[in-house]
Amino acid sequence: MKKRSVAEERNVMKKGNPAKMLAAVLAAAMLMGACGQSQATGTTAAGAAAETTAAPAQTAAAPAQTAAPASTPAPETTAAPATTAAPETTQAQATPATRFVTGSDGVTVEIPYQVDRVAPVIGALAQMTEILSEGRGVIVAAATNNISDYFREVFPDYNESNPNNYSASSVEDLIAANTQVVFGVSTLFSDEQKQQLKDAGVSFVATDNVATVDGLCETYTIIGDILGGNAPARAKEFVEYYRNAIDDSKARTAGVTERKKVLELFYSADSFTTVNSTDISNTYVEAAGGVNVAADYTVTKPSDGSSGGRGGASQLTVDAEQIVAWNPDLIVVGSQAGRDVILSDPAIQTVTAVKNGDVYVCPYGIYLWNVRSGEGAMVSPWLGKLLYPELFEDVDPVGIVKDYFKRFYNTEITDEKAEQILAGDASNAMTR
Q: Which domain holds residue 342?
A: 241-422
- Is pLDDT of 84 > 50? no
Global pTM value = 0.75
In a domain, residue 107? The reply is: yes
Indicate if 168 and 121 belong to the same structural domain. Answer: yes
Residue 133: which H helix or E strand, with range?
A: helix 123-133
Which of the residue ranges 23-27, 248-252, 349-353 would you say has the lowest mean pLDDT? 23-27
CATH number, domain of 301, equals 3.40.50.1980
Let me know if residue 24 belongs to a domain.
no
Report the C-alpha gap between 320 and 387 in whole angstroms. 23
Burial class, 291, CB count within 10 angstroms (exposed 0-12 / middle 13-18 / buried 19+) = middle
For residue range 347-365, list pLDDT tens digits in order. 999 999 999 999 999 999 9
pLDDT-based confidence at 426, cuts 50/70/90? low
Task: Please check whether residues 170 and 257 belong to one and the same domain.
Answer: no
Q: With 60 as the cut, is the pLDDT of residue 114 above it?
A: yes
Q: What is the pLDDT of residue 48?
A: 38
Please check whether residue 181 lies inside any domain of the structure: yes
Output 230 or 47, whichever has higher pLDDT.
Answer: 230
Q: Tell whether 190 and 126 lie within a shared domain.
A: yes
In a domain, 79, yes or no: no
| Secondary structure element (H or E) that encloses residue 275, with its range | strand 271-275
Task: Flag whether pLDDT at 98 surpasses 80.
Answer: yes
Q: How many domains does the chain have?
A: 2
Q: Is 94 helix (H, G, I), strand (E, B) or coil?
A: coil
Average pLDDT in the 215-233 region? Answer: 97
- In this structure, is residue 45 part of a structural domain? no
In Å, the largest CA–CA distance within the chain is: 172
The mean per-residue pLDDT over the stretch 402-407 comes to 98
According to the model, what pLDDT value does residue 305 have?
Answer: 43
